[in-house]
């Protein structure tokens, strides 16, 4: 089955709160009837063959109107999400594992920034135009994470998901 995953940035953080039911209703109002919400952090798995940029624009627009401030996100095809699966490693207790979603240019730029950081505690690999980042627990907003997730420049350009969430999304796609 064809479909897409919408990955919202900053959803259900700070004042940007929305229940799963409210988000489900918003997605239904846009005409999508076959979808799943994974966690409550802005992961929408849509079983549709629509135009990805139109889908993302519609959802972002509705959320921007709802919250009264600009919302951001990314969209990936099921095929792009499934490309991540072979790279996902087993969970390790003392390490955080994330996928950073961005456009090709931003991911390439962040990869180059990472190469300039002299810190052997973290690892970064490029998978397609997304980044697989491994960092010690408690270290997420230090070093590279401070730049990729904390710098205003990247706020609307990058969103992250931990490996547990990515695995749930992939499982949903596979069992759709």
**Architecture of the structural domain at 87-163:** 2-Layer Sandwich (3.30)
Length of the chain: 176
Q: Is the pLDDT of residue 102 over 80?
A: yes
| Residue reference for tokens 């999400």 | 81
**pLDDT reported for residue 13:** 78
Long-range contacts of 86-92 (CB under 8 A, 24+ apart): 87/125, 87/127, 87/132, 88/163, 88/166, 88/167, 88/170, 89/134, 89/163, 91/163, 91/164
Cβ-based burial of 48 (10 A; exposed 0-12, middle 13-18, buried ≥19): middle
Residues of the chain with CATH 3.30.70.1260: 87-163
Widest CA span of the chain, in angstroms?
48
Give how far Cα 94 sits from Cα of 4, 19, 63, 70, 136, Å.
32, 31, 35, 35, 6
Q: Is the pLDDT of residue 155 over 90?
A: no
**pLDDT reported for residue 84:** 94
Q: Confidence band (pLDDT; 50, 70, 90) for 153?
A: very high
**pLDDT reported for residue 94:** 85
Domain 4-81, CATH homologous superfamily name and number: SP0830-like domains (3.30.70.1280)
Residues of the chain with CATH 3.30.70.1280: 4-81
| Residue reference for tokens 């390490």 | 95
Q: Is the pLDDT of residue 1 over 80?
A: no
Answer yes or no: pTM beyond 0.95. Answer: no
pLDDT in tens, 53-94: 999 999 999 999 988 889 999 999 999 999 999 988 776 778
């Amino acid at each position: 089955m064809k479909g897409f995953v919408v990955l919202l940035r900053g959803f259900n953080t700070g004042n940007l709160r929305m229940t799963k039911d409210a988000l489900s209703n918003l997605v239904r109002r846009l005409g999508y009837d076959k979808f799943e919400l994974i966690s409550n952090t802005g992961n929408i798995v849509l079983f549709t063959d629509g135009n990805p940029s139109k889908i993302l624009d519609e959802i972002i627009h509705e959320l921007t109107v709802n919250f009264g401030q600009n919302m951001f996100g990314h969209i990936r095809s099921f095929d792009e999400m499934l490309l991540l699966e072979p790279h996902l490693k087993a969970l390790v207790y003392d390490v955080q594992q994330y996928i950073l979603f961005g456009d090709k240019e931003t991911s390439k730029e962040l990869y180059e920034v990472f190469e300039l950081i002299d810190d052997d505690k973290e690892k970064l690999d490029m998978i397609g135009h997304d980044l697989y980042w491994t960092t010690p627990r408690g270290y997420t907003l230090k070093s590279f994470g401070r730049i990729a997730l904390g710098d205003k420049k990247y706020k609307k350009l990058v969103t992250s998901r931990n490996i547990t969430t990515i695995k749930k999304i992939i499982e949903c796609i596979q069992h759709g």
